[in-house]
Amino acid sequence: MTLRPPSNIARQSSSAGVSLCRALSKLGLCSRKQAELLVAEGRVRVGGKVIRNGSVRVDPGRDRITVDDRRVVAEPKVYLMINKPRGLVTTRDDPQDRGTVYDCLSGLDLPFVSPVGRLDKASEGLLLMTNDTRWANGLLDPSSHVAKTYHVQIGALRDEAMLARFRAGVTVDGELLTARSIEILRSGTRTAWLEIVLDEGRNRHIRRLFGAYDVEVLRLVRVAIGSLQLGDLAKGKARHLTADELALFA
């Protein structure tokens, strides 16, 4: 027998509400990928009816959604900062069984939260996580121009001509990679530390920018997002943002 969506859902236009899988994620239960599995296994009901189509449109604030006969309700909003260590990937589940940023949340009583943007495996520093998708999307929207500040160690001597080329930007794979600013923090006999500020975040932006000139990035640490500083948070640890810190993004 084919199970059809409840009539109140079926009447919704294709533009109404959000998909069932997205609703489960927005309500703080799980990721969309995990929601797809729950739906496929027949564990999700809407209005008392089993739904096996994760693209069905629902209203998370009005429709009664249950998983394993337990109602899914919106979790309180959570906003975290993590000091991500090098070597962890920014994902929930890794098919290669590598450590993930969720290891930093071990022992904390939290709803499902997602990273706000990414840091690649070799990068370190400030990473935000939340279950507030609207807040996260606002930070990630390119039009918001929220600056990200990085301290970057490169395997090259200080060279003003080289820095001028970096500041001018370079096109890599059809993308123009630029930085708002690049300043020298300190320079040794073999390496240099730079402070780089980006107001957009392309995939592996800094590594690709330097790689275009065959300059090796030895360490890459994000130290600030907007006016929010990583501060003295210990590596591998997480904490909730304060009200004052949240106000920085208002």
Task: Report d(CA 153, CA 218) in Å as an integer.
Answer: 5
| Nearest alpha carbon to residue 50 among 20, 84, 95 | 20
The helix/strand count (H/E) of the chain reads as 7, 17
List beta partners, residue 186: 193
Task: Report d(CA 31, CA 24) in Å as an integer.
Answer: 8
Q: Give whole-number Cα distances, 16 to 8, 13, 24, 57, in Å.
A: 12, 5, 16, 7
At residue 245, what is the residue type?
Answer: E
Q: Give whole-number Cα distances, 100 to 88, 103, 127, 190, in Å.
A: 5, 6, 12, 32
At residue 107, what is the residue type?
Answer: G
| Residues annotated as part of the active site | 120
3 state SS of 20: helix
Q: Give whole-number Cα distances, 192 to 77, 158, 178, 224, in Å.
A: 40, 6, 19, 20
